[in-house]
Amino acid sequence: MEKRFDAIAALAEIGSIMDQPVKTYSSGMFMRLAFAVAVNVDPDILLVDEALAVGDLLFQHRCMHRMNHLRQSGKTIVLVTHDLDAVIKFCDEALLLDGGRLIEHGKPDMVVQKYRALIFERERLSGNYDADFEIQSGAKLVRSVDQMPVARSIPNIDHRFGNGEAAIIGVELLTPDGKPTSEVFGGQKIIIRVSASLKHDINRPILGYTLRDRLGVEISACNTSYAGNPLPAARKDQIITSEFHVTLPHLAAGSYSISPAVAKGSILQHDMCDWIDNALVFTVRAKNLIYGMMQMPVEVCSYISQAQGDG
């Protein structure tokens, strides 16, 4: 352990406090030190229970880097967390527990979908969606439904949930001139069209979508209220349609999915009527090699300076 002290101290990064009795530590300091010790004793099995929720961002990045190293070396890691992206990106399989009972067991993306459905159902039953928060700036006029094309196709349904007061009836990926497409380039302008049929009158309907990569990691999401274009009240048997005009970031080449949704309420608190996971899958091509998830716009300025002390 003495040989590993420096590595433990470097990861915990709590300075001279390490020389103080543990009972004087804050909970965050205690968790940092405990994690640093656990990952530096070369464990065969590592149990991490929400440890990544403490500490600053740099510490969290260091923790994930160290856990990836252990994982790649064949160690078993049990991660207990509510961080859905960490589950999708890090885990090989996942379990969903509720009150000590096993609810779901399987691939991380499917278990995460089950978790989201569980949370939405609890919010629906609570009836607590009366917050009145909308972004009004930049709102555009809503056209009547007979002036707008309606999406009528749902290519895929991995998982679906909601209270049934409205139902997604179609989602489409279009080029700027309105032609259906299944292959795009990063940086390209696209249109995501989402349509839903109302089974009940809804005073404040919301249409939206979530964009994910092939691992289920959420890249972006948008809905009519958040975009500053709230929909008006709609009646039973009416169809509501929204077109989201998007400029894709320069994403890494691969497959991506669109999950459409219709809800009622407001941005902060809403009741999910219908959500379809991975309803539409499409391919992104990249004209250049992209490192990581996406390429951000960059301007580079470089300089050559004379070293100090040189003649």
Q: How far apart are CA 22 and CA 58, in angstroms?
A: 23
Question: Which residues pair with residue 280 across a beta bridge?
Answer: 258
Residues in contact with 128: Cβ distance below 8 Å, sequence separation at least 6, in sequence order: 269
Name the band, by pLDDT with cuts 50, 70 and 90, for residue 220.
very high
Separation of CA 162 from chain center? 19
Q: How far apart are CA 109 and CA 92, in angstroms?
A: 10
What is the number of other CB atoms lying within 10 angstroms of the CB of residue 99? 5
Class of domain 133-291: mainly beta
* pTM for the structure as a whole: 0.69
Residue bearing tokens 């390209």? 188
- The domain spans of the chain are 2-81, 133-291
Dump pLDDT digits (tens) for 117-151: 888 777 666 655 443 433 333 444 455 545 568 99
pLDDT reported for residue 132: 40
pLDDT reported for residue 95: 95
Q: How far apart are CA 25 and CA 18, in angstroms?
A: 9
How far does the chain reach from its first CA to its final CA, in angstroms?
49
Range 267-291 average pLDDT: 89
Name the band, by pLDDT with cuts 50, 70 and 90, for residue 83.
confident
Percentage above 90 pLDDT, the chain: 44
Residue 227 · residue 244 · CB < 8 Å: yes
DSSP for 146-205, written as a single string: GGS---------SEEES-SSEEEEEEEEE-TTS-B-SEEETT-EEEEEEEEEESS-BSSE
Q: Is 122 helix (H, G, I), strand (E, B) or coil?
A: helix
pLDDT reported for residue 1: 65
Listed residue (219, 248, 192) closest to 85, CA to CA:
219
Q: How far apart are CA 275 and CA 179, in angstroms?
A: 25
Dump pLDDT digits (tens) for 198-208: 999 999 999 99
pLDDT reported for residue 60: 75
